[in-house]
Structure 1
């Protein structure tokens, strides 16, 4: 289980990030999967929307932990073809009411980018290897950590996930062109 993922009553809440652990991972250069310090090889998990924004919103990972994430994360391994329609933490982080009065339930706010992704097809993902010298935090005007700066020298890029929808759209476009009725010879000048 990723170190920055919310746990509630001993159960993992996939898609929900523990804000305190996320911040600690960024500030102390910890791997988001194992929580151990990052060393000489660092990978950033990057989507096209992150490239456009210039920031990777998730903490970096070790090369070994990247392999684990590729196997187990439904967004990276292709098991989740779409982002969830409702916020992960709609009313409660576990998606159901908590009946434990002593439970320190985590933050129940909706992630800022949820509406942009709700129900949308999953994105393509790449892993960018950077050197520790290029590990730079980006912060917002209010001092909140936005993520890791993507305006850095990338040592290596690996394709992690390519969504089949793009391939399907290309194939459907070709089929439409093939199946389109031929132009009427009478209408051709």
Structure 2
């Protein structure tokens, strides 16, 4: 594969991963809805889908830098720079933002897998890290270009960027819905 194909593959894997995690956010918000909680069967199915899709999304996010390592002479991404912020040779800051987002995502995943062993409030605070992950991850995705040259321009009308922009809209709508649910719950108490 050429370096351009490897960069494209990395982007495609990341976009699929973020799309799955956005879908997970939708399922997560359905789980918090009192209307959905009245239907226990639907709640169990929603939780199952939420967990499976989130694990798959995390795996895709975890593997998306691997093709970039195979194109290291073009991308400046080494194995070490995938795990240690600010070690990349090119796009240092924006790749570091992606690494930090990855660590936030891993904390969320581990806390969710260990949910039975954590206090509900601790788990909830850790799970709210999802907002931090999406913020950092989408910043990373929107700010990086397929051209790893210094000062390469980012085209926000590129189809890959538009997909991320749609995810931002979905996530903001979910956040607004979540805030409205919270306010309604507070009023009814």
Provide the TM-score with structure 1 as the length reference: 0.30
Provide the TM-score with structure 2 as the length reference: 0.30
Flag the structure with higher helix content: 2
